Amino acid sequence: MNALTARDLMRTDFLTLRGDARMDATIDLLLQESRSGKRPNIAVAIADGRFEGFVSLMSALGALMAGKPDAPVREFLLRETPVLSPDDNLYKALSGVVASKADAVPVMNGPELLGVVFLTDVFDHIVEEALTDITFNPED
């Protein structure tokens, strides 16, 4: 199980936006993503090609509850997140995702954002592996 790395698990097809984007526009994008079922409901804020933080459904709701739908995304970013390197193993990826309030962790090579590992992807992999290891014996 630990032979898998963050590079193997990471997605490169995640929703990105600028930190100065408005929260109401971001909420619309998250809603579209949620309805499409294509990707996790998390946006990644980028400034000059660098990772700034995540916008989750919880931070979007926080903006609405604070009455700040026109505020910049930067005000509601989840910045406190572990960071993975591409060669970190599955256990470190799982630990990072569990520790992240965004249920996602950036995979970085120095200042460069390579991808994002989402909780759903780690979960899917672990469950698939566990199910393939289970042998069904009707006699038991």
Name all domains of the chain by residue range, CATH numbers in brackets. 6-133 (3.10.580.10)
43 touches 63 (CB < 8 A)? no
Q: What are phi and psi of 51, to 5 degrees?
A: -65, 130
The alpha carbon of 13 is separated from its chain's Cα centroid by a whole number of angstroms, namely: 11
Q: How far is CA 140 from the centre of its chain?
A: 40
Output the six-digit token pair for 22.
Answer: 């408005």
- Average pLDDT rounded to a whole number, residues 62-68: 93
pLDDT digits (tens, 9 = 90+) for 75-126: 998 888 899 999 999 888 888 888 888 888 999 999 889 999 988 888 888 8
pTM of the model: 0.81
Other Cβ atoms less than 10 A from the Cβ of 21: the count is: 17
3-state secondary structure 95-106: HHHHHCCCCEEE
Residue 139 — very low, low, confident or very high, per pLDDT cuts 50/70/90?
low
Q: Which residues contact 108 (CB under 8 A, 6 or more apart)?
A: 51, 83, 84, 85, 114
C-alpha radius of gyration, the chain, whole number:
17
pLDDT category at 25 given cuts 50, 70, 90 is very high
Between CA 50 and CA 140 the distance in angstroms is 54
